[in-house]
Structure 1
Amino acid sequence: MTVKGARASHPLREAPFARLWVSGLLTEIGKWVLQLALPLYVLALTHSPLVTSVVAMLGLLPSFVVAPLAGTLVDRFEQRRFLVAVGMGQAAMLTPLLWVRDAGDLWMIYLVAGSEAILTVAFESVKNVALSTFVDPEQLVGANAAISLNASLGRLVGSPLGGLLLSWAGLHTVLAFAAASFLIASALAWTIPRRATARPTAAENTGFWAGLGETLRTIRYVPTLRGTFICVALLSVAQGMFVVLFLLFVTDLLGGGDAQAGLLRGVQAVGGFLGTVTVGLLTRKLAAPRLLTVGVLTFAAVSAVTWNLSLTSLGFAVYAVLFAAAGVPAVWLAAAWLSLVQQSSPLPLRGRVMACVLGLSDGLQALGMLAAGLLTGVMGTLSALNVQAALLLAAGLLTFRTLPRRLAPAKAPEPASASIGVPGIGPAGRQAS
């Protein structure tokens, strides 16, 4: 079903999207509860920062490896049922942690962390494909902005809640809360009208390797997808660097501690809310390609100013304002690249393309974490932070140079046999060139 209507209402006013949004928010909260609580639990269990970092990395790397398979499943099954199945799987996979007692049971934590990462990329893929099938194209950027806000809200609520539940009531309470979040999200997904989602039948008989090859050719030969893919790659490396460098920025350059670090990460959610509110105003003037450029370049500028102001003796409140400001363009750019992938991908391959982008993002974030550790040993924290800002600048300049100002109107996908020039890519795959 496509949500139609003459009025330009916000997509959250439409019941199918509102249910999908709340389902995604609950999943984000459950994910962040686990991402905060599990490493803390492992650190208390082993007193080993190395083992703790392995658990954190397992939240990213598995999705990089299995994303194409997850995308294949997304393209083959009806989206509503797939959302329900993934949510139930996320809850069920927490069960082994009930038997963790000491460091000898770490393998169960590794298993759960990796499994949750795989299920998360599957959930994100099908969620982003589903909304693109029942939200009008003119509402797509606003819908993606609302979806992007979920990550900020989930982190704002889930991270402190995970720490509180672990310290006050123990791991089992953390697991119960996370499982409840996933199950309620599944129940909400089940209430989405079946007619609101679709199953792309053209991909049902495509083998895994043939489908993967067609997906990679689509990304390579559709200019909008290729440019967006490279932009997301640079953003992901920069984000991975930020995860490590942020803590050093607070402790080494600002002289703060845990409380200050938590506050700065939290105020980004305030900026995320403002980004969601303002994205509608921007889309009246800018199409998704230019919105991506503006979002990335603004994010790069705010980052560079924030890092280099640490050379002065400004008060901590100034940095709180800057971190809140950074949350605004973060939502703009996320909404833009999601919309570009959705609008430029042929429907039968959309799940696979989305999963490939998300898997690549997770893998390159892990690479960025490693790069940050290596750079700080060579050039110091501030110089490494400026490298991170330079990556953001490069991503913004790339989008300005390579992406068209506007996308061509979407066309219905045609069979692979109708392709001209590139096997497996029909005119619908070329519509964004």
Structure 2
Amino acid sequence: MTGPGEGARHPLREAPFARLWVSGLLTETGRWVLQLALPLYVLALTRSPLVTSVVAMLGLLPSLVVAPLAGALVDRFDRRRFLIVVSLAQAAALTPLLWVEDAGDLWRVYLVAGAEAVLTMAFESVKNVALPAFVAPGQLVSANAAIGLNASLGRLVGSSLGGLLLGWAGLRLVLGSAMAAFLVAAVLAATIPRATGAHEPGGAGRGELWPGLRDALRAIREVPALRGTFQCVALLSLAQGMFVVLFLLFVTDLLGAGEAEAGLLRGVQAVGGFAGTVTVGVVTRRLGAPRLLSVGVLCFGAVSAVTWNLSQAPLGLTVYAALFALAGVPAVWLMAAWLSLVQQSSPPRVRGRVMACVLGLADGLQAVGMLAAGLLTGVMSPLAALDLQAALLLAAGLLTLRTLPAGRSGATAGAPADAKAAGPVRRAAD
């Protein structure tokens, strides 16, 4: 494991973290294969944006309900074994989709989307909570940026593959590729040594689920960095939920393109993700994690607004591909910043529950955003709805700029104030 004095050593040079990273990359790839292909499949089956948004929404709401339980499990059990079981379950949960033939089988899609959302949230919770045990504190933002990069790479490979496979061979080949990704992720998780942070339960005793959840919610309320990050993630998630549905209309209605082009635009953001990962260390040293979050969200919102409104000009697909790639830079910055703030500002004994609460909130508000997008398309143009989505991103950046304490110390910016505020929470948790 990286020690405190090894700040120059890149986290990916540590074998346990590298295995966690690759396992996460495969899971992200499988998730993005499904996240692009399933809504497109449902849209083609029903020709209804509202039904498409409901399918996507039902894929997120269950995780909001299950988040407290998942957080408690993350705090209590062997995290390495947890990763293996969840990855295997993700592969097995896809099997009902093999019997989907027409709109009468949509209930199978609802069921699988909900199960995959719960399992994805559980995987993300344990991966993000275990991460600080793999790297030195000063490298936490860089490690989270690497995690953000594998999310971008998963998007690049998974969404491109999902669009191409769906258009070329149909749903069954899409399912086969996602299953394979989840199974290999389970094998890799099994190679993580038990002596690392993958087996680092938080120590919560059995029967402490609800008291532990109360302590996690109290920490979010009382710790300034957690409270500000929580508010920012809420607005980001609402905007992201709208994007999931509106993006399909952006491609099909405003650009006049199809499945392959949709996969390309969703995937090319990974190109910018590389640049974001390379630059995040320098930018964090200059700004600190709180300001990195603000700047990342504001830049992301600005690029989104420009992209949506350029659709009114007769431009080629290359221009939009370049803009989506550019958006990948602040996307990695903001993800690395908010994950680092949550990881380092959370009381250790309830860190899993805090992370699960944040991820559960994100999924719940993404579902609200998806439903809102489906409803908005009935009363306003796709471009107006997309402009509203960009406005939410800009509002999130301005709110974060105002509420989070500034600092240049990376992920620990504002730590003295946070530690003071978290004192009663830590005592209650202990």
Look up the match of 1:182: 182
Structure 1 residues 299 and 52 mapped into 2: Cα distance closer, same or farther (>3 Å)? closer
- Whether contact under 8 Å (2:301, 2:390) holds in the other structure is yes
Tell me how far apart the structure 1 counterparts of residues 322 and 422 of structure 2 sit (CA, whole Å).
Answer: 51
Look up the match of 2:276: 275
Look up the match of 1:145: 145
Structure 1 residues 182 and 391 mapped into 2: Cα distance closer, same or farther (>3 Å)? same
Give the letter aligned to residue 83 of structure 2: L
- Whether contact under 8 Å (1:75, 1:204) holds in the other structure is no
Look up the match of 2:366: 365
1:311-322 matches, within 5 Å, as: 311-322=312-323
Give the letter aligned to residue 74 of structure 1: V
> Does residue 322 of structure 2 align to residue 300 of structure 1?
no
1:72-83 matches, within 5 Å, as: 72-83=72-83
* 1:374-410 Cα deviation digits (max 9, x unpaired): 3344443333322222211211111111111232558
> Does residue 43 of structure 2 align to residue 57 of structure 1?
no
Q: Per-residue deviation at 1:248?
A: 3.2
Structure 1 residues 147 and 373 mapped into 2: Cα distance closer, same or farther (>3 Å)? same
Give the letter aligned to residue 239 of structure 1: Q
Tell me how far apart the structure 1 counterparts of residues 96 and 256 of structure 2 sit (CA, whole Å).
Answer: 40
Tell me how far apart the structure 2 counterparts of residues 257 and 251 of structure 1 sit (CA, whole Å).
Answer: 6
Look up the match of 1:88: 88
1:309-388 matches, within 5 Å, as: 309-388=310-389
Give the letter aligned to residue 271 of structure 2: V
- Whether contact under 8 Å (1:3, 1:14) holds in the other structure is no
SS state at 1:135 partner? coil
Tell me how far apart the structure 1 counterparts of residues 323 and 41 of structure 2 sit (CA, whole Å).
Answer: 32
- Whether contact under 8 Å (1:343, 1:410) holds in the other structure is no
Structure 1 residues 248 and 90 mapped into 2: Cα distance closer, same or farther (>3 Å)? closer
Structure 1 residues 287 and 169 mapped into 2: Cα distance closer, same or farther (>3 Å)? same
1:91-130 matches, within 5 Å, as: 91-98=91-98, 105-130=105-130
Structure 1 residues 383 and 119 mapped into 2: Cα distance closer, same or farther (>3 Å)? same
- Whether contact under 8 Å (2:164, 2:263) holds in the other structure is no
Q: Per-residue deviation at 1:361?
A: 0.9
- Whether contact under 8 Å (1:270, 1:324) holds in the other structure is yes
Structure 1 residues 318 and 398 mapped into 2: Cα distance closer, same or farther (>3 Å)? same
SS state at 2:286 partner? coil
Tell me how far apart the structure 1 counterparts of residues 171 and 374 of structure 2 sit (CA, whole Å).
Answer: 30
Look up the match of 1:263: 264
SS state at 1:204 partner? coil
Tell me how far apart the structure 2 counterparts of residues 249 and 75 of structure 1 sit (CA, whole Å).
Answer: 41
Tell me how far apart the structure 1 counterparts of residues 50 and 375 of structure 2 sit (CA, whole Å).
Answer: 15
Look up the match of 2:401: 400
Look up the match of 1:390: 391
Look up the match of 2:410: none
Tell me how far apart the structure 2 counterparts of residues 67 and 74 of structure 1 sit (CA, whole Å).
Answer: 10
Q: Per-residue deviation at 1:260?
A: 4.1
Q: Per-residue deviation at 1:174?
A: 3.7
Gaps of 5+ in 2: 408-412
Structure 1 residues 282 and 183 mapped into 2: Cα distance closer, same or farther (>3 Å)? same
Q: Per-residue deviation at 1:312?
A: 4.3
The aligned length equals 424
Look up the match of 2:239: 238
Give the letter aligned to residue 398 of structure 1: L
1:156-235 matches, within 5 Å, as: 156-166=156-166, 171-197=171-197, 198-235=199-236
Q: Per-residue deviation at 1:45?
A: 6.4
Q: Per-residue deviation at 1:59?
A: 2.0
* 1:200-254 Cα deviation digits (max 9, x unpaired): 3431235222222111111111111010000000011111122233333344444
Give the letter aligned to residue 200 of structure 1: P
Tell me how far apart the structure 1 counterparts of residues 384 and 204 of structure 2 sit (CA, whole Å).
Answer: 47
- Whether contact under 8 Å (1:236, 1:361) holds in the other structure is yes
Structure 1 residues 354 and 419 mapped into 2: Cα distance closer, same or farther (>3 Å)? closer
Report which stretch shifted further, 372-381 or 204-213.
Answer: 372-381
Give the letter aligned to residue 146 of structure 1: A
* 1:179-213 Cα deviation digits (max 9, x unpaired): 22212111211211212114334312352222221
SS state at 2:8 partner? coil
Identity of aligned residues (%): 74
